[in-house]
Amino acid sequence: MRVGAVQLTSTADKDKNLATAGRLIADAVVEGAELVVLPEMFNCLGTGAELRAGAEPLDGPTALWLADQAVEHDITLVGGTFVERDEPRNHNTCCVFGPDGERLAAYRKIHLFDVEVPGAEFHESDAVGPGDEIVVVDVDEIRLGLSVCYDVRFPELYRIATLQGATVVTVPAAFTAKTGPPHWEVLLRARAIENQVFVIAAGQRGSSNDTLHWHGHSMIIDPWGTILAENADTEGVIVADLDLDAQTHVRDVLPSLANRRPAAYRWPD
């Protein structure tokens, strides 16, 4: 399967963001991508107030746009995330649409970026509440585990998704320019290596406003930890072929998943 990851700079201007995303999805399809991943908050990205104002229902305009894109291009589309209007709290939600336009899954980001690292201060919980369900979905010959950005720092999510059969995980992200250089690649490759899965990470790049600056560096990584494709800091797409037979070989010759000892693992009080 050939997959693609879109990298762009979203702002609070929804129309402009969707136009850019649509153009880049088309570019990925021209390069043969059958599954395309968009970044976190691809439709609207800005202050907490702008995120709250841009919230939409799960079947709102952005979701319908995603469904139409999947149908038009005959692809599976992992719709980055958008702020889902919900009660009692909004969510940062990733929807997956199949080539027939049907929604295959919706994952609500579990780990919220409430951080005060100098240069990366953000309180995501001002705009959304956390989800509480790990989501894995079948897509053709792969089983797809869903995650979003800050989730990548919590390996439990990825291990559980892998034990639920995930062979590929997606990471739509708006990873900060401050934390990205020391952490982004290391965390993505670690999640790929320890779970022997492919990782498709689609990132925001550039600056959404005067205070929100992003790392970019979208990546596609194989189960050995090899970076198959990367976009350092430009608007555009990357594509790569996922060799599922090679994944099976990795899991056979280095059987770290099979060598787990669950009976010895005890959470501390």
Q: Which residues are catalytic?
A: 40, 109, 149
List, in order, residues 6 or more apart from 196 with CB less than 8 Å away: 162, 223, 247, 250, 251, 254, 256, 257
Q: Is the peptide bond before 88 cis (omega within 30 degrees of 0)?
A: yes
- C-alpha torsion sign, points 122, 127, 130, 133: negative
Quote the radius of gyration of the chain (alpha carbons, Å): 17
Q: Which residues on adjacent β-strands are paired with residue 93?
A: 82, 108
Residue 215 contacts residue 175 (beta carbons within 8 Å):
yes
Q: Which residue has the tokens 């080539």?
A: 99
DSSP 39: P
Distance between CA atoms of 83 and 145, rounded to whole angstroms?
20
Q: Which of 94, 174, 185 is nearest to 133 (CA)?
A: 94
